[in-house]
């Protein structure tokens, strides 16, 4: 049984910040300007080398600031959550912007549904990309098995919209410090029986910029493949598992190919075909098996990287 919260659940905002001086002021303004403010705001500076820490400290005591050596976003979130004192924690990366009613609406949700472990809402991107973040099929409390399958296909939880039961985070051992730590945690929480609620109102604007766009595409898709392999036994749909893993491996292959890792790319395409064969995958495997083609593709990729560095 989950512990039941009071009629007005307490919420701590937790902010990991790394070299976010350019955006942190707007983020903090949106957090501190909530119509129903949080009980506390905890910011962990994750070894920034710009003016992030100084900017954060100018907001004390409204913001409790913790400084640590650079360890990555997952560890920074874990440190902030460990320092928090409320029933729930609201996750807030240091470059996103909340709507003024976000916590008011989510506090009402948690009071009305005290068994909810994770409350999240709709989000829109802005900046280098300007479109909506993917949404679940239905609002409200999510049906566990169906939502697990939906999340297995793609992440429909914008992390900066999440309010998370602090005890759930502790019980599951927190975030793993790797790419996709939020996605991995949410799938792990679903598999552990956590209850999720989706508010279809836009709660947050997600800032997209060069620092958080996919310069690490290969790392991201390799991590997604690992996350999906771990979750696969609980999905209950072998055909869906095969299709998703085949998609992941195709994207891994494409990323490796772009980096000139031709043998590794062929291996990913071959495994993708074993999971779920498609004509495009078969063509990729055939082309990468032609003598001389791998070496030529490696030369092309190397030349592209050299031009990018020179430019």
- Residue 292: pLDDT band by 50, 70, 90 thresholds? confident
Q: How far is CA 205 from the centre of its chain?
A: 14
> How do residues 242-274 score in pLDDT, each as one tens digit?
999 999 999 999 999 888 899 999 999 999 999
Coil, helix or strand at residue 44: strand
pLDDT digits (tens, 9 = 90+) for 57-94: 999 999 999 999 999 889 999 999 999 999 999 999 99
Rounded Cα–Cα distance for residues 132 and 202 (Å): 9
Whether omega for the bond prior to residue 163 falls within 30 degrees of 0, making it cis, is no
The structural domains of the chain, with segments of one domain joined by +, span 11-208, 217-310
| 3-state class (DSSP) for residue 14 | strand
What number of other Cβ atoms are within 10 A of residue 219's Cβ? 14
Element (H, E) at 215: none
Question: Rounded to whole angstroms, what are the CA distances from 182 to 236, 256, 280?
Answer: 22, 24, 31
What is the reported pTM? 0.88
pLDDT (mean) for 220-226: 92
Range among 219-223, 238-242, 278-282 rated most confident: 238-242
Distance of CA 196 to the CA centre of its chain: 16
CATH 3.30.70.270 fits 11-208, yes or no: no
Tens digit of pLDDT for each residue in 124-182? Answer: 988 766 678 899 999 999 999 999 999 999 999 999 999 999 999 999 999 986 666 79
């Amino acid at each position: 049984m989950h512990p039941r919260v009071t009629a007005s659940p307490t919420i701590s905002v937790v902010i990991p910040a790394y070299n976010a001086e350019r955006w942190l002021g707007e983020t903090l303004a949106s957090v501190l300007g909530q119509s129903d403010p949080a009980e506390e705001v905890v910011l962990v500076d994750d070894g920034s080398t710009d003016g992030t820490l100084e900017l954060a400290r100018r907001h004390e005591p409204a913001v409790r600031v913790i400084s640590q050596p650079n360890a990555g976003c997952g560890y920074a979130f874990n440190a902030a959550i460990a320092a928090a004192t409320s029933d729930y924690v609201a996750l807030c990366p240091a470059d996103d912007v909340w709507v003024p009613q976000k916590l008011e609406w989510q506090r009402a949700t948690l009071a009305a549904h005290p068994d909810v472990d994770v409350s999240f809402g709709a989000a829109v991107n802005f900046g280098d990309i300007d479109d909506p973040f993917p949404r679940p099929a239905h609002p409200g409390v999510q049906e566990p098995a169906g939502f697990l399958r939906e999340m297995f296909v793609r992440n429909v939880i914008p992390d900066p919209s999440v309010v998370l039961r602090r005890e759930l985070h502790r019980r599951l051992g927190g975030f793993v410090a790797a790419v996709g730590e939020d996605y991995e945690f949410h799938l792990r929480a679903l598999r552990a029986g956590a209850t999720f609620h989706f508010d279809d109102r836009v709660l947050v604007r997600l800032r997209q910029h060069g620092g958080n766009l996919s310069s690490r595409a290969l790392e991201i898709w390799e991590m997604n493949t690992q996350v999906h392999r771990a979750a696969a036994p609980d999905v209950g749909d072998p055909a869906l598992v095969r299709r998703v893993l085949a998609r992941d491996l195709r994207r891994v292959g494409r990323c490796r190919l772009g980096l000139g890792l031709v043998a590794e790319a062929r291996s990913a395409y071959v495994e993708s075909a074993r999971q779920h064969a498609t004509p495009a995958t078969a063509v990729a495997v055939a082309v990468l098996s032609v003598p001389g083609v791998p070496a030529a593709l490696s030369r092309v990729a190397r030349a592209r990287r050299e031009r990018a560095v020179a430019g």
